Amino acid sequence: MAVDDTTLNKTLWKIPNALCLLGSRAGDTWNGMTQSWVTQVSMEPVLLAAAVDTKALTNRLVREGGAFSINLWPRDDTRVFVKFSKPAKKEGMTLNGRPIREGITGVPVFEEAAVFFECRLWRIVECGTHDLFLGEVVDAGFGPYGEEVEVARMEDTRMKYGGVRRGGH
């Protein structure tokens, strides 16, 4: 490696990313997780890619459930991302107190999402610390804020994700 870890971290953290919630479910276990590594990777089929830590509960749920949702969030409500960085608590049709509905693939879709996508798992690429889940979009839409809504990005918060591996990654 021609670069030190500090420089690698600082440079990688400059990559602009969305900040959203990834919904997953296997049977009675439902989860939502703070996710920043998400992007479109194909037009036909329409595919979204999300890289998920191999150690996360979400990783198992996506593999077992065969689907996931991507929930872009209103830009002025970034507090949500703090709570969803550990397994979420389900009470009725809420996760960490945020209302959900069951999507057409069975995964949770957040009622407060600014924009949602539902994806059926298409391929998995094992990348190292993370698995890249490629999902074919089977449903998508806007939430209660309409089409002009601005969505949250990493730079709206003081959070960071990625860079080089630390203990536990």
Among 8, 66, 87, 153, binds ligand FMN (CB under 6 A): 87
Characterise 81 by phi-psi region: left (phi > 0), alpha (psi -120 to 50), beta (else). Answer: alpha
Residue among 36 and 105 whose Cβ is closer to ligand FMN: 36
How near is the Cβ of 44 to ligand FMN at its closest, in Å?
25
Residue among 35 and 71 whose Cβ is closer to ligand FMN: 35
Q: State yes or no: residue 69 binds ligand FMN (CB under 6 A).
A: no
The total number of residues shown for the chain amounts to 169
How near is the Cβ of 92 to ligand FMN at its closest, in Å?
19
Considering only CA atoms, give the Rg of the chain. 16
The DSSP secondary structure of 15-56, one letter per residue, reads S--B-EEEEEEETTEEEEEEE--EEEEETTTTEEEEEEETTS
Among 85, 97, 144, 150, binds ligand FMN (CB under 6 A): 85
Q: State yes or no: residue 81 binds ligand FMN (CB under 6 A).
A: yes
What's the CA gap between 151 and 147, in Å, rounded? 10
* Total of chain residues touching ligand FMN, rule CB under 6 A: 20
Give the x/- contact pattern for ligand FMN in 45-64, rule: CB under 6 A: ------xxx--xxx------
Question: What residues make contact with ligand FMN under the rule CB under 6 A?
Answer: 19, 31, 33-37, 51-53, 56-58, 81, 85-87, 130, 159, 161
